[in-house]
Amino acid sequence: MNYLTEKHKELEESQQSGLMLWFGQLPMDKKAVAIGLSLTVGISSAAMAWQGTSSDRIYFCIKTPLKTLVCQDKNNRPFRMTPFYWQQWQNDGMPTQIVRDPATGVNGLVKATNPYKPFWAFGGFLGFALAGWMLRHCQDEEKQRAVFVDIAQKRDAAKAEMAARSELLDSYKDVAIKEVELQADLDLIAGDRTVDIQKAEIYANTEIEVTQMEASDAIFEAQTAGMSEEQKAEYIKHLRDTKTPYLQGSQTLQGTIDPNDKVTGGEQPAIAPQENKTAWVQNLIKQTALIWGNQGGGKSWLARYVALKKKEAGYRVIVLDPDSNRAEWKGLESYHSWSDIEAQIRAYVEEIESRLFTFNNSNLSEDQWRQKLWADGKATALICEEVTTYSDFIKDEELLSKFGKLALTKSRKQEMPITVVAHNNTQTCLFGIKGLHNLVSKMLQVECLAEVDPVTLQPKSTGKAKVKLDSSNEWLDVNLPTMTAKISDFSDTATPVSNSIPPIDKATWERIYELEFNIGGKSGDTQNKKNQLSPQAQKLYEYLTRTERIEADVREFKGNFKVNGERFTVEQIKGWMYEIVGADLAEWIGEGVIKLNQI
């Protein structure tokens, strides 16, 4: 036994007998023999104590007046007592009717058959007590031993587990080192190839520029052959200052073929080209953003435009849209059932956690890590439509909460940005998750603005929006990209919808001509053509021009179209389109589709 102190040892030993001290030093087999012997002695002594009588007995009878002897009581038990009490009775005066039973023993005296019966009983008690004492001593020692055995087993199990883990970590370490070495070699090779390509491009561009300069010099030398140096200088000045008599202000001949040309005379403001007005959309490509607004504001069209730009930028675009199907997202990876959407959300969470773990345990800088993700083709973007309803159908609240928090805080640096489309910018509209107020208030947001059409009484996009940049509280007014139709084909062969200046076609050249050379020449003709239309056709044409429509499809109007209480059919609307085409204000470009002439 382990003692706490020497005093504890002295007290314990003082409470133990020498027999138990000797017994405690015996091995287990000898202890068992000692206990067996003690039990044998106890059982034998008890058996001996159980048999015979321990004292002499005198049997007697009572003589009745009829001279008969009664030697038993009513229960047929013989009258008897020990010699001591018989002698005592005689001394006290025994009645003469009491006589010894001549039929029992020698004159009624029966000798004891087991005079040592008390000693046998004591021996039995002593044997059992000693055996119990030794058993209790063995039980205490076994209980103490069991504690040490349990600790030893746990120690051995822990050692085995640590050894297994150490072996596993060594194996993983070797594999990780090989992977890092291989990746470093690949990055080095890729870097060398990139440097070689860049050198080749620089050399090629230099050769082209030198060739162009040599060609320009040759052309100039041919044009100025025979001229003196002063004549060449005057000729160069003449070319730079040449203007046509039909141009105004500071316009030059070169400016007439530039659709971005502007008149600089006076105090007229410059007109920014369309791509400059929508350059803000680039913020939505690589950042996690929230697009929200009322119905008809254009948020879904903007989300599709962003998805197209993300794909053009090289992202693997995944769309989660419970309100559509794959036909609406051709060329992209899209999911529309709630089970598929939940599975994709779970996969997104697992992937971003895996990337965070790998990045945190690597020696790469943030820029190197992001370049590696792009090089490995792991740049992934999610488009989440109608997120307000996610919590109604996905019951795993912990998954949605983790998805929202990781997407809003960790997605950009892991090249896994998401674009969220909702009806509002409250935290309940964002996956229905609570506790995201601070994250939502700081994230990049776009509010698409809608208005009610005065003719159809339907909400429509104003082409305007408000943007709040990341970690900013200021809302900026911007223009939405101009799109004539909803994007539903994102395949590489599809014709992309452009938000830049369209090519200069015949109608555009005619409009430039009218503005530059024949100002006001056709305005009267247009008014005359409109006057040829019926009142309803005029209203339809004014609606199309007021909303800056280029094309109009009769299928966009539902059957039994109703405006201000007056109901129209699709056939009536198609008839008004025929009037517009007949007045040379538009032309048919398809079945039920007209294109307005640019006037």
pLDDT at position 171? 87
Predicted pLDDT of residue 315: 93
DSSP code per residue over 513-560: HHHHTSTTTTHHHHHHHHHTS-HHHHHHHHHHHHTT-SEEEGGGSPSS
**CB-CB contact of 379 with 415 (8 Å):** yes
Going by C-alpha positions, the residue among 431, 425, 432 that lies closest to residue 447 is 425
Residue 133's nearest CA partner among 31, 280, 8 is 31
Task: In whole angstroms, give the CA distance from residue 512 to residue 524.
Answer: 17
What is the model's pTM? 0.41
Strands 289-293 and 418-422: parallel
The first and second tokens of residue 192, run together, are 């060398």
Quote the CA–CA distance of 299 and 589 in Å, as a whole number: 29
Question: What is the model's pLDDT at position 526?
Answer: 66
Q: Name, in order, each residue with C-beta under 8 angstroms of 526's C-beta and a sequence gap of 6 or more.
A: 585, 599
- Quick one: tokens of 467? 């943007």
Contact (CB, 8 A) for 381 and 310: yes
Rounded to an integer, what distance in angstroms lies between the CA atom of residue 239 and that of residue 232?
11
DSSP letter (8 states) at residue 445: E
SS3 for 338-396 is: HHHHHHHHHHHHHHHHHHHHHHHCCCCCHHHHHHHHHHCCCCEEEEECCHHHHHHHCCC
Which pLDDT belongs to residue 271? 35
Q: Which amino acid makes up residue 553?
A: D
User: For the packed helices 570-582 and 535-546, what is the interaxial angle rounded to 10 degrees?
Assistant: 80
- Interacting residues of 15 by C-beta distance below 8 A, sequence separation 6+: none
Helices (H), 224-279: 229-241, 274-277
128: CB partners within 8 A, 6+ apart: 38, 39, 42, 46
- Would you state the pLDDT for residue 342? 93
Q: Give the DSSP per-residue string, 98-160.
A: EEE-TTSTBTTEE--S-TTHHHHHHHHHHHHHHHHHHHHHHHHHHHHHHHHHHHHHHHHHHHH
Distance, in Å, from the CA atom of 515 to the CA atom of 161, rounded to the nearest integer, reads: 87
DSSP class per residue in 492-508: TTSPPPP-SPPP--HHH
Q: What is the pLDDT along the chain (599 residues), one digit of tens a residue?
A: 566 788 777 777 676 667 777 777 788 888 888 888 888 988 988 888 888 887 888 888 988 888 788 888 889 899 888 888 998 998 988 888 888 888 888 888 888 888 888 888 898 898 898 888 888 888 887 787 788 888 888 999 999 999 998 888 888 888 889 889 888 888 888 888 887 787 777 767 777 776 777 777 677 677 676 677 777 777 676 665 554 443 444 444 444 444 444 433 333 333 334 445 678 888 899 899 999 888 888 888 999 999 999 999 999 999 999 989 999 999 999 999 999 999 999 999 999 999 999 999 988 888 889 988 998 889 999 999 988 888 888 888 888 888 888 888 888 889 999 999 988 887 667 776 776 667 787 889 999 988 877 777 677 888 889 998 887 888 898 989 888 888 988 987 555 444 433 444 445 445 444 444 444 444 456 666 666 788 878 888 887 887 777 788 777 665 445 555 566 677 778 788 888 888 888 888 877 788 888 75
The reported pLDDT for the residue numbered 564 is 56
- The CA–CA distances, whole Å, from 194 to 186, 189, 355, 373 equal 12, 9, 25, 17
Find, among 307, 312, 492, the residue nearest to 418 by Cα. 307
Label residue 11 exposed, middle or buried (CB < 10 Å: 0-12, 13-18, 19+).
exposed
Could you give the CA distance from residue 304 to residue 299 in angstroms, rounded to a whole number? Answer: 9
180-203 in b/e burial notation, b at 16+ Cβ within 10 A? eeeeeeeeeeeeeeeeeeeeeeee
| Whole-angstrom distance, CA of residue 548 vs CA of residue 424 | 28
Residue 208 Cα distances to 194, 198, 204, 205, angstroms: 21, 15, 6, 5
Two structure tokens written together for 482: 């101009």
- CB-side neighbour CA atoms (13 Å) of 66: 3
Beta bridge partner(s), residue 563:
566
Amino acid at 295: Q
